[in-house]
A and B are shown apart, each in its own frame.
Chain A
Amino acid sequence: MTEKIELHDLFAQIDDTTQLNTQGIREERIKAAVLDKIQPPQTERIRRGRPSRRWFAALIAAACALVLSMGVCALTGGLFGVRLLDDSQRQALQTPRYAVIAGSRLPETGDDERLLTGYSAQILDEEYLAENELIFFDSVGTITGETEDGQTAFPEFIFENGDTAILTQPQGEGWQLQQGDTITVTFRQNIQDNPNAFPQGNKLSLGVILDGIPQDLWQGSDTSFTFCYTAPRAGTFYFYLQDLSSEPVIITDAAVTLEQP
């Protein structure tokens, strides 16, 4: 039985020092930064003394996510890259994500390989994406929320490197805004349930889609984030999140709130 081996991975198994070049790089600073980052914060140490409450909270969170996922799955349709966080996704997250020998070839890029699921094909201007070669919109899905009193709340979902998740209202609608209207987008990264998460948060991008054209608003790795957006003109607006990190990211407590004038 044959197996594919990526040559760079195979070469990594040997040792050679002839071409090492660390000029200008402070190795001690790297090591100090690592040791500093892996120290658990004070609050974490306190929590470790109370495991029962933590496990109880985790169970409640898991149950809520499952119920929300089941409810919204029917509305969202078959998602590939962007998907609601369910038990199978949680289980998959526990699997080690590296294999040194078996090469995991990245998908080839090409216009015919763009994957627009859910309502995203109606939301995005595909011609614009193709003409401008926006590589970050190759794998797009929609996450639908439930709206009440001007606030749309979204179920917990997971997406991977390069995936785009467009937030929509229950039937795939965006937000009708007049010039000067203000809308607030909030979300958190669930790093507790994600073994692949960086302690300080994974890198994300938040953007807005107007008339099918996406535009970045913010990039960062904040684990909890709020963005206030003021409509530059009247129109239908959608907001999206992109996973710019190399790992899957779980988004929780996402909400879009239309501020009352």
Chain B
Amino acid sequence: MNEEGWASRLRQDDTAALQEVMDAYTAYLCTVARNMAAPALTAQDVEEIVSEAFVRLWTHRNTLDPALSLKGYLLRVTKNLAVDKLRSEKNACLPLVEEIVACRDEVETALERAEAVARLQRHLAALPRQDRDLLLRFYYYHQRTCDIAKAYGIQHGALRTRLSRLRARLKKELEREDRP
């Protein structure tokens, strides 16, 4: 996988590069879209959303910054399209839209992006398996907390408390200054 190479080839109208990007990320984007908005979105909705995300990547291929992540771009587009789809259903899906929109979590750090990712990976590797799994389900796969609680067979409140503690530790790790 070489994101910079893909971005460069996309700018040269190389559809083979787009196919490679689709091979790499289709399953992930489908999983995220489904996790965010099931059961409001059907499998067909998810297919349409993810295909639109790739079409937009192609449409904007000449303005893509190779220093930024194609995966992050596709993820953000997929999430926005899922929210648009839910909003178009109007009142029936508005609580879910609000839940998704509210589900943003920022840390303030002096780290470079690559260093932040490396530190995140080290932090995850050092966690007990179930804690790592919980963070991945929530932040990487965008599973909703009620679904994670069901998967673990625990109360929703207990899951949120546990997630909150893990998030606090992660933030502390990412906001920590490097000592010389």
Contact = CB atoms under 8 A, between A and B. Distances in A.
B47 A26 contact: yes
A57 B94 CA distance: 43
B22 A34 contact: yes
A217 interface: no
A195 B15 CA distance: 19
Interface residues of B, number: 70
A6 B136 contact: no
Interface residues of A, number: 58
Contacts of A26: 43, 47
Interface in A20-46: 20-22, 24-27, 29-31, 33-35, 37-38
B37 interface: no
Given A8-B142, A21-B31, A25-B47, A1 B65 contact: no
B50 A30 contact: yes
Contact of A11 (B101, B108, B139): B139
A13 B73 contact: no
Contacts of A94: 63
Nearest to B94: A135
Contacts of B46: 25
B106 A4 contact: yes
Given A12-B75, A14-B140, A4 B31 contact: no
Given A16-B136, A25-B30, A25-B46, A5 B19 contact: no
A2 interface: yes
B8 interface: no
A97 to B, nearest CB: 8
Given A98-B76, A100-B68, A34 B133 contact: no
A244 B56 CA distance: 16
A214 to B, nearest CB: 12
Contacts of A18: 133, 136
B96 interface: no
Nearest to A29: B47
A7 B119 CA distance: 13
A245 B52 CA distance: 12
B59 interface: yes
Interface of B: 15, 18-19, 22, 26-28, 30-31, 34-35, 43, 46-48, 50-52, 54-56, 58-60, 63-65, 68-69, 71-73, 75-77, 80-81, 83-84, 87-88, 94, 98, 101, 103-110, 113, 116-117, 120-121, 124, 133, 135-137, 139-143, 167, 170, 174
Given A14-B117, A33-B47, A34-B22, 12 more contacts: A1-B110, A5-B106, A5-B113, A10-B174, A14-B124, A24-B43, A34-B55, A38-B58, A96-B64, A96-B65, A198-B52, A199-B59
